[in-house]
Amino acid sequence: MKPWSREPRGRFDELEIDSALLRGNPLADPSVRPLWVYTPPGYDRAPKKRYPSLYLILGLTGQIDMWKNRLPFRPNVLELCDELFAEGGAPPAIVVFVDCWTRLGGSQYIDSPGTGRYLSYLADEIVPFVDARYRTLPKPEHRGITGKSSGGYGAMVAPMLRPDVFGGFASHAGDALFETCYLPAFRESVRLLRERYRGSFDLFWQKLREGPALQRPEEGVLMNDYCMAACYSADPDGTVRLPYDLETGELVPEIWERWLAWDPVRMARKHGDALRSLRAIYVDSGKNDEYFLDLGALAFRRELDRLGIEGYFFELFDGTHRAIEYRYPLAWRFLAERLSER
C-alpha cells in the first residue's frame, strides 16, 4: 500500500556483529553493532551467482536506523535502494548498511585513539563478515564504498588507506579541503563556547547528553569540531586536541597540521597508486553546499587530474547539503556498473 509501505522486492536482513576491534573502545561505545544487508531481487533464485558489494556509510551523527528517516513526499533510502535494483535497471549488487556511530557523532571511518578503530572494524571485520555470509565477489575490484558528508569523507579515504579492500567509491559532499569546510566554523564554536558554555566543551557535551540534544541547530559546529579533533588529532592516550585556542580561536599550527594530514585533498597526493588502482570514482556536491564541499570536490578533482586518473564521475549539481539523498542512486548505479564482473 503506497505511499506508506512498499514491500521490498529485494530483501533486507537486519544483523548484528560482535566486534573484537571495538571492544574497549575509548568512548565506551557498544562493540556489538547493527549491520543491514540488502540482497537484490533474484538473489535467492540464483544460488550460484555472485555479486559486487556496496558499503553505505553514514554522515555525522548517523545511526543505522536513520536510513529509514523519511522526508516529506519522498522515498527513504531503503526504498531508493530497492527501487534502483528492482526497477531501475542497475546491475544487481549486495548493499551493506554500516553503522560507525560514536557518542561524539561519528568516527570518520578511520582508526583513532580518540574514538576507536573504525576503519579496521569496517575493513577487517565487517567486510569478511559479509563475504562469509553472502555471495559477494570477494575482491576489492568488486567492492565499493559510498556515503554523504562524513560518509563521503570515509568513502574517499577508506580506499586510499585500504585499496586491498575497496576498489571504488562514491562521495557525495564529502568533507575535503579542510581550510574551506572546517576552519571557517571554528570562530563560531569559540563564540558559542564563551557565550553559552563557559568556554568548556565538557559543559557542552554534558548539556547535550542531558538533552534535548542540539536543540539549537547552530551548535552543531561544536559537536563537529570536537568530534573531528577526536578523529584527527587525539593523542595516543586518547586526549583530544583542538586545533584552535578555545578563548580566541587562534589556530594552533601543530594541531592543524595533524588535521591536514587527514584531508582527502592532501592525502590524495600521497596515495596516488591506490587511487589509480580504483575501478570507480564518483564525486559530487551541491553548488550551494552549506559547508562549501563543492570546493573540496573541486580540489579533490584537481588531484585526480594531477594523478592522471581518467573516467571518473564529477558533478556540481544545483543544491545544498540537505535533502540530497536522491543523488544516491546515481552513485550506486555508477558503482554497480563498474564493479560488476566484466
- Residues in contact with a second copy by CB under 8 A are 1-5, 16, 30, 32-34, 61, 63-66, 68-74, 76, 99, 101, 105, 177, 179-180, 183-188, 190-191, 195, 208-209, 211-215, 217, 245, 247-251, 265, 287-288, 292, 294-295, 298-299, 302, 319, 322-323, 326
- Taking the least distance from each CB to a second copy, the nearer of 163 and 249 is 249
CB of 214 to a second copy, least distance (A): 6
- Taking the least distance from each CB to a second copy, the nearer of 86 and 252 is 252
CB of 294 to a second copy, least distance (A): 7
- Taking the least distance from each CB to a second copy, the nearer of 143 and 333 is 333
CB of 31 to a second copy, least distance (A): 10
CB of 141 to a second copy, least distance (A): 30
CB of 282 to a second copy, least distance (A): 18
- Taking the least distance from each CB to a second copy, the nearer of 165 and 281 is 281
CB of 42 to a second copy, least distance (A): 27
- Taking the least distance from each CB to a second copy, the nearer of 33 and 148 is 33
- Taking the least distance from each CB to a second copy, the nearer of 1 and 132 is 1
- Taking the least distance from each CB to a second copy, the nearer of 217 and 236 is 217
CB of 292 to a second copy, least distance (A): 4
**β-strand partners of 35:** 15
Residue closest to 52 by CA, chosen among 333, 313, 274: 333
Contacts of 49 (CB under 8 A, 6+ apart): 42, 43, 135
